[in-house]
Structure 1
Amino acid sequence: MPSIVEHSVEIAAPVEKVFAYVDDFHKTREWMYGLDKIEHVGGNQHGVGAEYDGVMKVGVSLSSRIRCTAYEENKMIELTSVRGIRNTQRWTFTALDDNRTLVDACISYSLPGGPVGATMAAGIKPFVGIAVKHTSETLVRNVESLRG
């Protein structure tokens, strides 16, 4: 059974600016808590088919290859694992007005079963709340401080 984390944050910036920042995998380590590594490994760099290898350190190291499975510029990005820890991230972007954007994140993940999965779950659980709070605060601060 997957675990699901949902969170929304409002950013004082136009939707195009927010989307471009989140869509740039080179910047992801600047704002995503626990992301130790991300590298483009196949397909386009943006949009459906783009693939990335990543390592999250959240109590334990979790590796995954993710592929962009849905993409609508300035509206939505969905990334789904194709190898490693099973997870799906769906980021939606809603323009509230010309200079305010609502970002909704829904992240689901499944850990292996048995003793290994139980150990991993115990190591991850304390970090989930911290990760969501830190990621949101950093994303807002970083995007709002961009020029242009």
Structure 2
Amino acid sequence: MTEVKIIADCAAPAESAFAYVNDYRNLPRFINEISEFTPTTEQTEGVGATFDGTIQLGPITLHSRIEIVRHEENFAIGVKSIKGFEIESTFLFHAKDANSSTVDAIVDYKVPGGIAGKLLGKTIEPFVKLAVKSSTNNLITQIAEFHSADANA
């Protein structure tokens, strides 16, 4: 598997960061490459919730069904594909103080073997790295806005 990890400081507490990411409807807001992300079960949070997603990485469109496999309140959300493109993704939220945190975005993906898999891997690798960096930047900005709006409500 190929791992891409981005660590960023966020102007909001870990609880706000977790709450924002925990709402699946926010995922396409901070990951621009996601064109579809829909629940496949009534459960939309916590271990066992599943979603179908479509992501555009450069010239390649990939589909996956993912399941939440890790859900630790205010600390971690992890997903793993159970169908389609193989991907594992984890968000970790580390409290720094009452008004700030650090967010770790970790993405592991695997392409199929053989020549076609190697070609796919070479094609999408730069797009995955850019997408994770861009998504993390979007995420910390949106979390800070979410926290600010929530604090002023």
Fold shared per TM-score above 0.5 = yes
Aligned partners of 2:40 and 2:52 also within 8 Å: yes
Unaligned runs of 5+ in 1: none
Residue aligning to 1:54: 53
Q: Indicate if the aligned counterparts of 2:54 and 2:63 stay in contact, CA closer than 8 A.
A: yes
Is 1:116 the equivalent of 2:101?
Answer: no
Q: CA deviation at 1:9?
A: 0.9
Structure 1 distance, partners of 2:74, 2:112, is 34
What amino acid is the match of 2:121?
A: A
Task: Give the corresponding residue for 1:142.
Answer: 142
Query: What does the per-residue CA deviation read over 1:36-74, in whole Å, with 9 as the maximum and x for residues that have no partner?
Result: 110000252100000000011002111110101111110
Residue correspondence of structure 1 range 13-92 to structure 2 within 5 A: 13-42=12-41, 44-59=43-58, 60-92=60-92
2:30 & 2:21 partners in 1: Cα distance? 9
What fraction of aligned residue pairs are identical, expressed as a percent? 32
Aligned length: 147
> Structure 2-normalised TM-score?
0.90
Task: Give the alignment's TM-score, normalised by structure 1.
Answer: 0.93
Q: Structure 2: 5+ residue runs without aligned partners?
A: none
